[in-house]
Structure 1
Amino acid sequence: MTKTVEFILDLAAPNGYLAWYPLKEIAAKTGAELVVTPVFLGGMHKMTGNSPPMMRDADVKGKVPYAALEFQRFLDRHEMDRFKIHPALPFNSIMLQRILCAAENQAEMQALVDALQPAVWERNIDCSDADAVRSVLEDAGFDAERLLAATQDPDVKQLLADNTEHAVERGAFGIPTFFVGDEMWFGKERLGQIEEYLAGGKP
């Protein structure tokens, strides 16, 4: 029976970018179905009392520099040499997340993730600028007007809110979070465990 790995994602999370590409490889290797669930990280943080690591750990001696070291190690290991930390981080991703929610199906949603991840984390577009986002969508062959208009659709707004609330109810508190059935993993460092689990091993 094919397993499904669900990726709880907000495009505003740099670790979501880092996890996306290895996760796709793991899904392909193990024959798992990959499903993306867009959430709003700002809302998730508010619901859980969490905050971005560089803010949360700012007063812990040595922790932020070590996190930066591990981050760079991951980039190097996976040869992600085009990644650039966004100068506006942390930024509001509500428009991007609603665009994902407006996708007609998982195939379109994942194609949108493929188009938007490099725009955000390699070219560092202004994620609140509709014209900048429109250009990315058009260049990738999407109906930009439909997707941007949908960001104001009450049903799309509600879907994002519901996704976020449901993810928190299931135990999620940050990005990247992954589910296989009821089993949850948090962090890009857990990708190896997820691969073992999808291949039939224990979590």
Structure 2
Amino acid sequence: MSKTVEFFFDLGSPATYLAYTQLPKICAQTDSQLIYTPMLLGGVFKATGNASPATIPAKGRYMFQDLDRYAKRYGVPLKFTADFPINTLMLMRAVMGMQLRHPERFLTFIDCLFHALWVEGRNLNDPATVAAVLTQNGFDPNEVLALTTDEEVKATLKDNTEKAVQRGVFGAPSMFVGDQMFFGQDRLDFILEALS
């Protein structure tokens, strides 16, 4: 049986962005498959009673410093939008829609959104900014918007979120190797061990 990492993610999490920059390398190194599973972090928080660390002043300050340390360690840029945290409902429906309807363009799609949000620090809460980012990356904003109202897309995202909670997920990123759950981008060394 081939080794897999299930990656439960939401674009709006900076720790998820950092994990996203490293997981493909870990999977390549261990000859493992990376399975991207979009979920809605707001839905996870609501179901579990959890909240963003950014909402707790002391924890938030520490988190920003720690994420910056990890970005430097990984050699990747990390820039926060002034509008952080953002509501990712429409973005994650678009991500889910792209995975369901246009899987061949899925990775390019999430690449452009992660880059706009966490490398360029663009405000993806703003529909005009999202449309500009999509256009610049060869996507039709109207086609993407249509995906966000697709009933199957909405139901699948909701289902992914509910399944994540049932498996013990309380935040993002959450990764599974078999039945083992790993929470946070600072647990990637344990994922590497589990795959090796």
What's the TM-score once normalised by structure 1's chain length?
A: 0.88
- Paired with 1:78 and 1:145, the residues of 2 have a C-alpha distance of 35
Whether 1:44 and 2:39 are equivalent positions in the alignment is no
Q: How far is 1:170 from its partner?
A: 0.5
Q: Which runs of 4+ in 1 moved over 6 A?
A: none
- Paired with 1:150 and 1:105, the residues of 2 have a C-alpha distance of 10
Structure holding more helix per residue: 2
Q: How far is 1:124 from its partner?
A: 2.4
Deviates more, 1:132-141 or 1:150-159: 132-141
Identity score, percent: 40
- Paired with 1:172 and 1:151, the residues of 2 have a C-alpha distance of 24
Provide closer, same or farther for how the CA distance between residues 107 and 186 of structure 1 changes in structure 2, counting only shifts above 3 A.
farther
Aligned to 2:65: 69
- Paired with 2:178 and 2:139, the residues of 1 have a C-alpha distance of 31
Q: Secondary structure of the equivalent of 1:67?
A: helix
Aligned to 2:128: 131
Which residue among 57, 74, 78 is the counterpart of 1:78? 74
Letter in 1 for 2:63: A
- Paired with 2:107 and 2:178, the residues of 1 have a C-alpha distance of 20
Whether 1:146 and 2:143 are equivalent positions in the alignment is yes
- Paired with 1:197 and 1:35, the residues of 2 have a C-alpha distance of 16
Once the two structures are superposed, the pairs formed by residues 52-201 of structure 1 within 5 Å of their partners are 52-55=52-55, 57-58=56-57, 63-80=59-76, 82-103=77-98, 104=101, 106-199=103-196
- Paired with 1:15 and 1:111, the residues of 2 have a C-alpha distance of 20
- Paired with 2:26 and 2:52, the residues of 1 have a C-alpha distance of 27
Provide closer, same or farther for how the CA distance between residues 109 and 159 of structure 1 changes in structure 2, counting only shifts above 3 A.
same
Q: How far is 1:126 from its partner?
A: 2.5
- Paired with 1:72 and 1:154, the residues of 2 have a C-alpha distance of 38
Q: CA RMSD in A?
A: 1.7
The C-alpha deviation readout for 1:118-147, integer Å capped at 9, x for no partner, is 111122222233332222222222343222
Provide closer, same or farther for how the CA distance between residues 106 and 4 of structure 1 changes in structure 2, counting only shifts above 3 A.
farther
Aligned to 1:32: 32
Q: Unpaired runs of 5+ in structure 2?
A: none
Counting matched residue pairs gives 194
Q: Secondary structure of the equivalent of 2:182?
A: strand
- Paired with 1:90 and 1:128, the residues of 2 have a C-alpha distance of 9
Letter in 1 for 2:138: G
